[in-house]
Structure 1
């Protein structure tokens, strides 16, 4: 009889553990978002699914902070919904790490994070007209000609037809 009770208890606890397994959060893969003068790529964060295990329904909390001088920006400045499983990035900043916290209906907590890099690239060569001869050296000022990008940056020169 003791063996039967012991086996029943082990099976019961195994079943509880299987049904209400550990919560696992997936903030998605690290991403680089490209942009220019006209906007940026539309990117959603989070996995597919963003949470598994635990006991649904889930509560999602996305967090980040970025400080520029005395200004402090939070996740709501960069995401369309900080409580969504898969929020869309709506604004750019520096390299940001978004922390995802998932809470299941039994108050189990799991976390993950995703690194988001922004590459805003722009040029304004319209006001800089130069004739460059074959073999000449050229200096592109980071403040006047080329802005942004993620190093190293490569340039491709094409010969114009006159």
Structure 2
């Protein structure tokens, strides 16, 4: 089974996937209401950690897939699958905003690993796009040290932007 086959299969029966991504922000809100006033921050941090991973892994995949499809495959926005390409990202953003209102992300175990993973993916896609757009001839006049400094600077900029966003 290819990824295209999986998308076609899910597109023909999209309600389970749609329900999953619609319920996750609702579950985060319910957990926030139940956890209000509780002193057991470690337990609720673990519960939020499960929610973060449940929403961020598909959300990060959807972001990466969209970037790949729009930059490299030149897919039109009109052909995008709303359930598989946009709903996970919207669900991820809503869930993270709801969780951020109740508990700092520093108390959610493993959240730093996800943001680091997203930074790495963004940097690699940026480098792939850079190599896709430029010809190798353009590198003859640019010292390699400048390319490394630009790559590290991009990593730091993406990491800084991600920390300010959430």
The interval holding the TM-score normalised by the smaller chain is under 0.3
Rg larger in structure: 1
Q: Which is helix-richer, 1 or 2?
A: 2
Higher relative CO (Cα under 8 Å, sequence separation at least 6) belongs to: 2
Q: TM-score normalized by structure 1?
A: 0.24
